[in-house]
Amino acid sequence: MSEVSLARSWGIYAVLGWRNLWLHPLRTFLTASALAVGIAALIFLSAMDDGWMQQIKRNFALTVTGHIQIHARGFEQTQRLRQHIQNPAPLMPLVRAQDGVKEVVLRVRASGLASSAGANAGVLVFGVEPEAEARLSRLSDFLVSGSWLRSDVQHEVLLGDGLADRLQVGLGDKVVLMAAAPDGEIASEVFRVRGLLHSGVLDIDDLFVIAPLPKVQQWLGLGQGVTDIVIRVTDDDRVTPVWNSLRSLLDGDSFEVLRWNDIDPMAEQWAEFADVYTWIILLIVIVVVLAEVLNTMLMSMHERVREFGLMMALGARAGHIFVMILWETIVLVALGAVAGFVLGGVLVFWFGREGIDLTRFAVAFSFMYMDPVVYPRFEWSSMARIIGASLVGALMAGILPALRAARLVPARALREL
């Protein structure tokens, strides 16, 4: 009986809540405006974060890793040269045929030791196809002196600048590279320094040696073998479809297909960082809503104690009063949230087109894979979360006054004036 009457009376409490808000238009307007500004600012911050994350992901994926890699099964785990793809050629047409594949390159990846006249250092050797690699990854962008590799040069390598410092070598100097061939034999080879790279990423600058693929294959006795088939896709959201399709096409006993975020633990950390940032924003949304609305609702409730007493005397249940106040709070927050959403949306679209130039801070950002110009991104999922958080804030801000009102004793409430 009571539930039925509450359900049937729902409409009247919506009307009451709405009209009560406009009993004090200025108060409602000020509260909603403050809320709107807060929510707009948070929407903008969140969109900045989304823009950044997209940039970071893209830059990160394309710095070295590529979007997708195919290995011989188990290579990612062991990093042993013995687990290589002996003949990649037949796979290439299959990979290139995938919808959304932009570039495919072959690599040999091996850890080894570099020696110069004066020093030794542990290194990561990358055998790459010079022209294709320049189109796929950002490695060639990091060249700071000398020149990029060419297919027709054999005994030349590029070094990270930190590594060059440690080896005390410069352009044209000799380095000897040593690494274990698949059979376990240590093989060594002499190269000259053709160029130096500086990326701001420590691993690259301090460990990387980039050499022509055919020379590395020959040096390590791999024949046509490679360790990685690296794929760049046209667009971020092609990663998973292409990955899925390749996994179903390739024999799982011989090959492993990995996305960039499966390969580098760093990616996982970025994602976690982004999550924390998102939660902080949502928390602030809730706090902003609470701070703005709780006070207004308590004030409004205080003025209406007698009216609540009256409604209870007429037969309204405590639950009705509770629902009415909660509803009023939600409407108030919704007013602010909608206005904030529009305001924030406009800001995001405007700056999303123009970009925000952070060149002044570029040095600080470069190591984080950020570009100096950020483009805020409007992502529905982030917006939905912020709206959801406002609603949570509204419920929290409404529950205290609503509970207080619902706990009123009618006889006492009626004596208030």
Partner 1 sequence: MAIIHAHRLRKTYPSGSTHVVALDDVSFDVQQGDFVVIAGRSGSGKTTLLNMLGALDRPDSGTLKVAGQDLLSMGEAERANFRLWHIGFVFQAYNLIRVLTARENVAYVLQLQGKPSRERLKAADAWLAEVGLEGMGDRRPDQMSGGQQQRVAVARALAMSPSLVLADEPTANLDTHTGGELIRLMRRINEKNGTTFVIASHDPAVIDAAHTLIVMQDGRIEQSVCRD
Residues engaged in binding partner 1 (CB under 8 A): 1-2, 4-5, 8-9, 12, 15-16, 19-20, 23, 306-307, 310-318, 320, 409-411, 414-415, 417
The single residue listed with the structure tokens 């000799």 is: 174
Using the Cα atoms of residue 408, residue 410, residue 411 and residue 413 in order, give the sign of their dihedral. positive
| Helix, strand, or coil (residue 246) | helix
Least distance to partner 1, CB of residue 398, Å: 18
Taking the complex as a whole, the smallest distance from the CB of residue 27 to partner 1 amounts, in Å, to 15
Q: Which is nearer to partner 1, 2 or 248 (CB)?
A: 2
| Nearest to partner 1 of 339, 414 (CB atom) | 414
Residue 169 vs 335, nearer CB to partner 1: 335
Q: Residue 334: CB partners within 8 Å, gap ≥ 6?
A: 390, 394
Least Å from the CB of residue 373 to partner 1: 52
User: Which distant-in-sequence residues (6+ apart) come within 8 Å of 302 by Cβ?
Assistant: none
**Residue 119, phi then psi, degrees to nearest 5:** -155, 165
- In whole angstroms, the minimum distance from the beta carbon of 332 to partner 1 comes to 15
Residue closer to partner 1, measured from CB, 47 or 413: 413
Say if CB 75 and CB 146 are below 8 A apart. no
Smaller CB distance to partner 1: residue 1 or 26? 1
Question: Closest separation between CB of residue 304 and partner 1, Å?
Answer: 8
Q: How far is the CB of 329 from partner 1 (least distance, A)?
A: 16
Instruction: Give the up-direction half-sphere exposure of residue 112: CA atoms within 13 A in the CB hemisphere.
Output: 30
- Tokens standing for residue 111: 């850890």
Residue 44: CB partners within 8 Å, gap ≥ 6?
A: 344, 347, 348, 351, 376
**Which CB atom, from 264 or from 328, has the smaller least distance to partner 1?**
328
* Beta carbon nearer to partner 1, 173 or 307: 307
Residues in contact with 270: Cβ distance below 8 Å, sequence separation at least 6, in sequence order:
53, 56, 57, 60
The distance of Cα 263 from the centroid of its chain, to the nearest Å, equals 16
> Measured from the CB of residue 306, what is the shortest distance to partner 1 in angstroms?
6
Whole-number minimum distance, CB 300 to partner 1, in Å? 12
Q: Which is nearer to partner 1, 27 or 306 (CB)?
A: 306
**Phi/psi at 205 (nearest 5 deg)?**
-65, -30
Instruction: Give the DSSP per-residue string, 147-185.
Output: ----TT--SEEEEEHHHHHHHT--TT-EEEEEEE-TTS-
Q: Is 193 helix (H, G, I), strand (E, B) or coil?
A: strand
| Encoded tokens for 339 | 């206005």
